[in-house]
């Protein structure tokens, strides 16, 4: 009798679990599993002259690899190089700067409220407006200022000049990404036990020592999350190229994500989607490159990072 009651209770519980997971489950199966599986299958097909799909074997992959190995000579190869480079530069430079500046805010040093407020600007007036404003500033007042200060001899077009346009994207990406770190890292630092920091201060530890030995190990999980999701997103990075240039970004500024986006959208308006199988193959290659690197990054950061003790 009792057993029957328990099994009835369990049945009610399982029914609830099933019904609750039904909606998210269907959405996941259709929009994640279904679409990505279809994209995988598509990568082995191609369109003929009559726009019928037929089996292409590894043809799309061969073509994609040929483009990748051309490096800077192809838009795809250049896009991959740029995407990896910007990730490395922003992180090698960015993480130490983020740690130091976040610690400054965490310690509530002079002007921390104003700094925090300015870091939130993209959230306050929306990142999109900040980006549009950036374009206007970089196209108007900045060249004028550089000219007035005698740094350049004639007015430059930073967005379009091959001498400056890639560097401009690096600066823009650092500038816009920096603020979000100034919100998340100090918040994570606030979870650190105050007493531990106090006793370290009494023992004469400097701020740098406290940051390196107490604070950074404590916020290591947050750091890992940012790093892993950053690595996972390298190949999909389209940068601000659409915002800056629409579909006509200069070749030297290409990013891998932008290449796929630009090609997809161009084919949408132009050539009857004939490029989709090839772009699916590129997507598979991106996944094959990124997945092990991402999993390795997660494993390495957990393995070689500070222990929770």
Partner 1 sequence: MKTINKALKKKKLNANNLVFACVSVFLILFTASMILPFLWMLITSFKSAADYTVSTFSFPSEKYGGWQFENYKIAFELLPIRIVDWSVGYIEISVFRMFLNSLILSGLGPAIGLIQPALTAYIVAKYKFKGSNFIYSLGIIVMILPVYGSLGLTLKFAKWVGYYDNLILQVLLSGSPFGFTFIFFYGVFKTLPWSYAEAAFIDGASHARVMFQIYFPLMLPIFATQYILSFISSWSDYMTTTVMAPSWPTLGYGIYMFQQRASINGATVPQIMCGFIMMGTVTAILYLSTQKLLLEKMNVGGLKG
Helices (H) and strands (E) in the chain, counts: 16, 2
- Rounded to a whole number of angstroms, the minimum distance from the CB of residue 157 to partner 1 is 15
Binding region for partner 1 (CB under 8 A) out of 38-46, 82-90, 151-159, 194-202: 38-46
CB-wise, 125 or 152, nearer to partner 1? 125
Q: Which of 6, 167, 295, 300 touches partner 1 (CB under 8 A)? A: 295
Taking contact as CB under 8 A, which single stretch among the options 35-43, 47-55, 69-77, 151-159 is the one that binds partner 1? 35-43
* Long-range contacts, stretch 191-199, CB < 8 angstroms, 24+ apart: 191/218, 191/219, 192/218, 192/219
* Rounded-to-integer distance, Cα 260 and Cα 285, Å: 12
Binding positions for partner 1, 196-255, rule CB under 8 A: 204, 206-208, 220-222, 224-226, 228-229, 232-233, 235-236, 242-243, 246
**Which CB atom, from 89 or from 129, has the smaller least distance to partner 1?**
129
Q: Interface residues for partner 1 in 95-154 (CB under 8 A)? A: 97, 100-101, 104, 109-111, 114-116, 118-121, 123-129, 132-134, 136-137, 140-141, 144
Beta-bridged to residue 53, according to DSSP, are 47
For residue 215, give the DSSP letter: I
Cα end-to-end distance, the chain, whole Å: 49
Residue pair 255/239 in contact (Cβ under 8 Å)? The answer is yes
Total residues binding partner 1 (CB under 8 A) = 98
Rounded to a whole number of angstroms, the minimum distance from the CB of residue 70 to partner 1 is 19
- Asked if 146 and 153 touch (Cβ cutoff 8 Å), the reply is no
**How does 144-160 read in b/e, with b if 16+ C-beta sit within 10 Å?**
eeeeeeeeeeeebebbe
* Residue among 164 and 261 whose Cβ is closer to partner 1: 261
- Taking the complex as a whole, how short is the minimal distance between the CB of residue 28 and partner 1, in angstroms? 5
When asked if residue 69 is in the footprint of partner 1 (CB under 8 A), the reply is no
DSSP, res 179: H
3-state class (DSSP) for residue 237: coil
Report in angstroms how near the CB of residue 7 gets to partner 1 at its nearest. 14
Interface with partner 1, residue 300, by CB under 8 A: no
């Amino acid at each position: 009798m009792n057993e029957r009651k328990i099994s009835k209770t369990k049945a009610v519980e399982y029914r609830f679990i099933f019904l609750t997971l039904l909606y998210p489950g269907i959405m996941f199966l259709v929009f994640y599993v279904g679409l990505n599986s279809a994209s995988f299958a598509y990568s082995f097909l191609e369109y003929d002259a009559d726009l019928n799909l037929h089996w292409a074997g590894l043809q799309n992959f061969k073509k994609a690899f040929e483009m990748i190995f051309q490096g800077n000579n192809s838009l795809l190869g250049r896009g991959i190089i740029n995407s990896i480079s910007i990730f490395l530069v922003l992180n090698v430079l960015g993480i130490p700067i983020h740690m130091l500046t976040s610690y400054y805010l965490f310690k509530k040093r002079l002007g921390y409220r104003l700094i925090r407020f300015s870091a939130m600007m993209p959230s306050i007036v929306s990142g999109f407006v900040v980006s549009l404003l950036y374009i206007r500033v970089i196209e108007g007042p900045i060249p004028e200022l550089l000219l007035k200060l005698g740094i350049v001899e004639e007015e430059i077009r930073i967005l379009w000049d091959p001498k400056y346009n890639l560097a401009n994207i690096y600066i823009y990406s650092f500038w816009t990404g920096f603020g979000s770190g100034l919100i998340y890292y100090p918040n994570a630092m606030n979870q650190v036990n105050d007493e531990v920091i106090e006793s370290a201060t009494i023992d004469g530890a400097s701020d740098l020592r406290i940051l390196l030995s107490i604070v950074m190990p404590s916020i290591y999980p947050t750091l890992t999350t940012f790093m892993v999701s950053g690595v996972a997103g390298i190949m999909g990075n389209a940068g601000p190229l659409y915002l800056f240039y629409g579909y006509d970004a200069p070749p030297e500024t290409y990013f891998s994500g932008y290449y796929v986006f630009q090609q997809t959208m161009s084919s949408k308006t132009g050539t009857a989607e004939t490029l989709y199988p090839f772009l699916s193959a590129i997507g598979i290659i991106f996944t094959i490159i990124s997945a092990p690197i991402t999993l390795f990054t997660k494993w390495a950061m957990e393995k070689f990072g500070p222990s929770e003790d």
